[in-house]
Amino acid sequence: MKTPNSCTRRACLFGAGLLALSTCALAQTTTQPPVRILVGAPAGGTTDTMARTLAQALGGELGRTVVIENRPGAGGNIAAEAVARAAPDGNTLLMSFTSHAINASLYPRLPFDPIKDFTALTMISTSPSVLVAHPKVPANNVSELIALARSRPGQLNFAIGALGSSLHLAGDAFKMKAGVFILNIPYRGTAPAVQDVLAGQVELMFAAVGNVQQHIRAGKLKALGVTSAQRLAAFPDIPTIAEVLPGYESAAWFGLFGPARMAPEIARRLSDAARTAVQSAEVRRRIELEGATAEGNSPEVFARFVESEITRWSAVVRYSGAKPE
């Protein structure tokens, strides 16, 4: 026959076991893996900088660790494919850029659909570019450059950091609208392209403001026009290209995506957290230091924007005849 003491002891052991199991279960439900943001560009570039600028603030909003994973190559397609195939649990995201829309027409076949295989969360920032020239170029504004290019067809050159990039196509959109013939000189990266324009090896370049603003201020490059619809606060004396070519506008953009089929509540939580992070004073300041503008729009607005970008850039890709490297 069992004594009351033995029963009490067994009950205590059983209760302790339940407590241990419940504590373990609680730890498993409250401990979450880090959120990975895949970046389809090398470390140190603008896309990588935008992702790292966002990561800490986003982690604070989510109460989770956010890590950046660089998977460069194929114009961002390697990282995009990995996210398209990831579980839609909110643990794997994509920091993409303008090439996400350009690649839809640049590549004859993609291993994913740039619309259907992703959940648009928010646009992080936009970054206009500036048309710069070496000081020896006898043109001080867009009108003079167009006249010069028409008088010397094929004798002027654009340095291009990467074929099929937004800056490449900004130049081709300019040529298409101005009706001029300027040769493209491709480089493997923005840095060597900028260096050759500084050295006078190539006359012209469309460059991100953050990459050339110090050279403009030092007088080592001439700024002929900016690609934004409005003049930039940092350079109010540089006219927009649209002041000469109405309707011309080009800007790189950086946005956050998740895989398709994410639960609405997960997508909304990630979008809200990212938008709050983008609008924080510190993140805005760091974005502006890159010559960019903080955005943070809704998922619905961002999704419609991406669709419109695919349509817009397809016309420029056809005109340029650009092929993926």
Q: Which pLDDT band, with edges at 50, 70 and 90, does 37 fall under?
A: very high
Query: Does residue 6 register a pLDDT over 90?
Result: no
Beta strands in 52-139 (DSSP E): 66-70, 92-97, 118-133
Q: Do residues 246 and 167 lie in contact, with contact meaning Cβ atoms separated by under 8 Å? A: no
Residue 204: predicted pLDDT: 98
Q: Which pLDDT band, with edges at 50, 70 and 90, does 13 fall under?
A: very low
CA-to-CA separations, 77 to 82, 278, 286, in angstroms, rounded: 9, 25, 27
Per-residue pLDDT, averaged over 262-270, amounts to: 97
Q: Helices H, strands E: what count in the chain?
A: 11, 10
Query: Does residue 21 register a pLDDT over 60?
Result: no
Residue 233: predicted pLDDT: 81
CA-to-CA separations, 188 to 46, 118, 160, in angstroms, rounded: 15, 29, 8
Query: Does residue 32 register a pLDDT over 90?
Result: no
Residue 324 token pair:
């993926």
Query: Does residue 118 register a pLDDT over 50?
Result: yes
* pTM (global) more than 0.85: no
Domains of the chain, each with CATH number or no CATH: 35-127+251-320 (3.40.190.150), 128-243 (3.40.190.10)
Residue 25: predicted pLDDT: 35
Residue 176 token pair:
């298409």
At 64 the three-state DSSP class reads coil
Q: Do residues 47 and 210 lie in contact, with contact meaning Cβ atoms separated by under 8 Å? A: no
Residue 162: predicted pLDDT: 80
Per-residue pLDDT, averaged over 177-186, amounts to: 95
Q: Which pLDDT band, with edges at 50, 70 and 90, does 26 fall under?
A: very low
Q: Which pLDDT band, with edges at 50, 70 and 90, does 325 fall under?
A: low
Query: Does residue 161 register a pLDDT over 60?
Result: yes
Please give the single-letter amino acid code of residue 193. Answer: A
Higher-confidence residue: 204 or 15?
204
Query: Does residue 152 register a pLDDT over 90?
Result: yes
